[in-house]
Amino acid sequence: MERIITTGDDFVSINQPVVLAMGAFDGIHIGHQAVIVAAKNKAQQLNALSAVYSFWPHPSIILNCPKQLILPRVQKVERLKNLGIDYFIEQEFTEMFAETTASDFIFLLRKKFHYLAGVCVGENFKFGKNCEGDSLFLRNLSQNFIVEIQKFVFFENQRVSSSNIRKCLHDGHIDRANRMLGYPYYILGTLCIGRRIARTLGYPTLNVHFENDLLLKFGVYLVRYRFGRYSEYFWGVGNFGVRPTFFEGVPKVHLEVHSLDPVIFHSQHEPIEVQFWSYIREEKRFASQELLVKQIYHDTIIARHRISHLFKGDMI
């Protein structure tokens, strides 16, 4: 996949027919994937190249209604690579670009591409100043290129959308969120040195430093993790929150993982990926370390039980 960043109405240097999957694509969930697959299939039919045409920063930031993004930029690029498209085109979204009318935006698309063969969008796609354009407007005003509109995707009678996924993550419904995403919600971070308290309790942990705000509810999770990007995965119990039994002063959000598999602990600053698979319980303050240790033991039992159900099709 080749990545192209474009500004204004600059020409995009793809000198072949191209079919675009177009949208903000926050999360690359199964609804977004349906649009992207439709673009890939249409490109194959038309002997064209496939591309995702998206926007950065996220339009909500420029329009002063910022949303917490499901995927940071680097993870969004990673997910798109996995989908096997030919190009990822990021349109710089500025205050000036936000003033582009819907009809001018369609003109801009024709100008940007040597030969625009087709565009695939979701049923709720909006574009242009004040979101005046929608998918039907795009189809009606398109000339010399095909417009395909992908119907909504539903999971258990709920429409798959970034907002619904964000709510699931905030409410601790990680299993449901993962099914709508089509992959486990995950973060990329680095190992850091903690206070080593968990080690004295008999449950040593990996302390994970991460830059982006997580959408997760504070609590204890069944997690899967790996060092680097291509090593094997290990299972663990992760605690995401402020560690109320031990914090001093102003609470700070932490992520620490106790491994359920035998593993050699790696060095500080090493990259680590942590996937969240199942919500076990809320984070809470314990009156003593002894009560905390008993609870951690109970958490590991629950985690191992849920791992066994993963291979029976009961969980994602």
> What pLDDT sits at residue 90?
97
Give the lowest-confidence range in 3-7, 107-111, 203-207, 263-267: 263-267
> What pLDDT sits at residue 303?
97
Q: Tell me if the domain spanning 2-155 has CATH number 3.40.50.1980.
A: no
> What pLDDT sits at residue 268?
74
CA distances, 75 to each of 5, 114, 222 (Å): 16, 29, 21
Q: What would the pLDDT profile of 55-66 be if each residue is shown by its tens digit?
A: 999 999 998 888
pLDDT value at 312 more than 60: no
Q: Give the residue-averaged pLDDT of 184-196.
A: 85
Spans of all domains in the chain: 2-155, 184-310
Q: Give the residue-averaged pLDDT of 176-195.
A: 91
User: Beta strand 271-282 with 219-227: parallel, antiparallel or unpaired?
Assistant: antiparallel
Q: What are phi and psi of 59, to 5 degrees?
A: -50, -30
The residues, ordered by sequence, that sit 6+ positions from 289 with a Cβ below 8 Å of its Cβ are 201, 245
Which amino acid does the sequence have at 263?
V
Average pLDDT in the chain: 90
Q: Tell me if the domain spanning 184-310 has CATH number 2.40.30.30.
A: yes
How far apart (Å, rounded) are the C-alpha atoms in residues 69 and 82?
19
> What pLDDT sits at residue 314?
47
- Ranked by mean pLDDT, the top range of 186-195, 227-236, 241-250, 292-301 is 292-301
